[in-house]
Amino acid sequence: MIGRLATIIKGRAATALAPPRDPSRGMTESQRAEAQRRRAIETGRNRLLFTGIMFTLAFAVIAGRMVDLTVLKGGETQVRQQARMARTAPLEMGRADIVDRNGVVLATSLPTVSLYANANEVLDPEEAAAKLVRVLPDLSRADVQARLSAPRNFVYLKRNLTPREQYEVNALGIPGLYFERGERRIYPHGGLFSHVLGLTDIDNNGIAGLEKTFDGLLKSGTPLRLALDARVQTVMRNELLRAVETFSAIGAIGMVMDVHTGEIISMVSLPDFDPNNPGATTAENMFNRATLGVYEMGSTFKLLNTAIALDSGKSTLQSVYDASKPLRVARFTISDFHGKNRPLTVPEVLMHSSNIASAKMAIDYGTETQRAYMGALGMLRTAAIELPEVGSPLVPSPWREINTMTISYGHGIAVTPLQVVTGVSALVNGGILRPATLVKHEPGAEPAGQRVLKEQTSYQMRQLMRLTVMGGSGSMSEVPGYHVGGKTGTAEKLGAGGTYRRKSLLSSFIAAFPMHDPRYVVLAMIDEPQGTKETFGYATGGWTAAPAVGRVISQIGPMLGVPSTTEDQAEAVLPIRYLHTLTKSTASASTE
Residue 41: CA atoms inside 13 Å, Cβ hemisphere, count?
A: 6
* 358 is an active site residue: no
Strand, helix or coil at 462? Answer: helix
- Residue in 299, 353, 358, 473 annotated catalytic: 299
| Helices marked H in 450-575 | 455-471, 541-559, 567-573
CB atoms within 10 A of CB 237: 21
Q: How far is CA 555 from the centre of its chain?
A: 21
Q: H or E element: which one contains 206?
A: strand 206-208
Pairwise CA distance, residues 535 & 532, whole Å: 5
Report CA dihedral (572, 578, 579, 580) to the nearest 10 degrees. 170
Angle between helices 355-365 and 301-311 (to 10 degrees): 40
**Residues present in the chain in total:** 592
Nearest to 181 by CA among 255, 109, 283: 109
Between the alpha carbon of residue 475 and those of residues 486, 505, 506, 562, the distances in Å are 9, 20, 19, 21
Q: H or E element: which one contains 432?
A: strand 432-433
Pairwise CA distance, residues 211 & 215, whole Å: 5
Sign for the pseudo-dihedral over CA of 239, 243, 249, 253? negative
Nearest to 318 by CA among 352, 353, 348: 348
Q: H or E element: which one contains 401?
A: helix 401-407
Give me the active site residues, please. 299
